[in-house]
Amino acid sequence: MEHTNLNLLDEALGLHNINNKLWPLCGRFILVEDSVDTTASFVLHHIIKRSLSSHPSSSVIFLSFSHPFSHYDRILRKLGCNLAAQRDNSRFFFIDMLMLQCPDEGKNNHDGLAVIFEKVERVINTLHPDNKKFLTIMIDDISLLEVVANGSSNAVLDFLHYCHTLTSEFGCALVALDHKDIYSNDERPALILELEYLADILVNAEPLATGLAKDVHGQLMVLDKGSQHEHGISSHKIHNFHFKIKENSIEYFYPGTITMS
């Protein structure tokens, strides 16, 4: 991994810890939350890029419910990562779920998501055993997964639990995007609460309290619940910073320290 170009997000996610030659996110569950006003999909793009460049045999399984491959390919190409080439090298596995629809009848929902999980498992089985800990599973996004499951949040939670067990089984990383504002009016938003509880790292993108601006696109809150490696010391770390999204990079800065060029 490059030592240069580490930004605030890398630091907050702990990607600067490259001492033990492991992918720093391995075995961890990262939940990314956003809202209608501020999308956090750029965090996913960033993690794709970092994980593919972290190790020569690292790989990403991408479950896409919201955009076709060409969308991500164009974005990542501008960020300096050729997804089409990585796909041909069997390092980027794109599972297109855009047209997936489960039948309505009650019990079949589970079957629908089970099919998806089997697909993920099949990909993992093709990987070399040594490379499984450099694997990242990414879901974009959970709210559409719920739609696929016809609103059965239990089915979604089951699916995510299965994915979560993979992180402990193989030491791979799980990254999922969800939209927090969907649940803000629920009395008991079980799904999002459970996900937040499970997550090792919580990334929350919000618009600025003062509204949208051209120079600052929003603020990120990264909560790291502490890693297992640190001799049993659980250290909650909170990072707050602002960001500005550009085509080929994202600028991160602490509030008030934006540098105009």
Partner 1 sequence: MASSFTKTGSSFCRNSSKSSINPHLKLGPNATSFISSGIPDLDKILGGGFCVGSLVMIMEDAEAPHHMLLLRNFMSQGLVHKHPLFYASPSKQPKLFLGTLPTPNSSSSKLDKSRDPTHEKDLRIAWQYKKYFEEPNLNISTNNGGQHEYCNDFDLRKPLERHFYSGTNVDCVSIQDSPNLDALQDRCARFLAQLSRSEGNSSSAGRIAIQSFCSPQCKYSDMEWHMLSFIKSLKGMTRSSNAVVVVTFPPSLLSPSCSKRLQHMADTLLSVKAIPDEDKELAKLLTGYQDMVGFLNVHKVARLNTQVPVILDATTFSIKLERRRFLVLECLNQAPVDGSSGTSYGTSGGCSGSTKSGSLDF
Residues that bind partner 1 (CB under 8 A): 36-39, 41-42, 45, 65, 67-68, 70-71, 74-75, 98-99, 101, 104, 143-144, 147-148, 150-151, 179, 181-186, 207, 209-214, 217, 245-247
Based on CB atoms, which residue is closest to partner 1, 140 or 200?
A: 140
Cβ neighbors of 200 (< 8 A, separation 6 or more) are 28, 29, 30, 224, 225, 227
CB of 137 to partner 1, least distance (A): 21
Based on CB atoms, which residue is closest to partner 1, 62 or 134?
A: 62
CB of 94 to partner 1, least distance (A): 14
CB of 75 to partner 1, least distance (A): 5
CA 95 to chain centre: 15
CB of 243 to partner 1, least distance (A): 11
Based on CB atoms, which residue is closest to partner 1, 18 or 114?
A: 114
CB of 182 to partner 1, least distance (A): 5
Based on CB atoms, which residue is closest to partner 1, 71 or 237?
A: 71
Based on CB atoms, which residue is closest to partner 1, 22 or 208?
A: 208
CB of 5 to partner 1, least distance (A): 17
CA distance 69 to 55: 23
3-state secondary structure of 36: coil
Closest CA to 177 of 208, 202, 150: 202
CA distance 5 to 247: 16
Based on CB atoms, which residue is closest to partner 1, 209 or 233?
A: 209
CA distance 91 to 93: 6
CA dihedral 227, 52, 112, 142 (to 10 degrees): 60
CA 244 to chain centre: 19
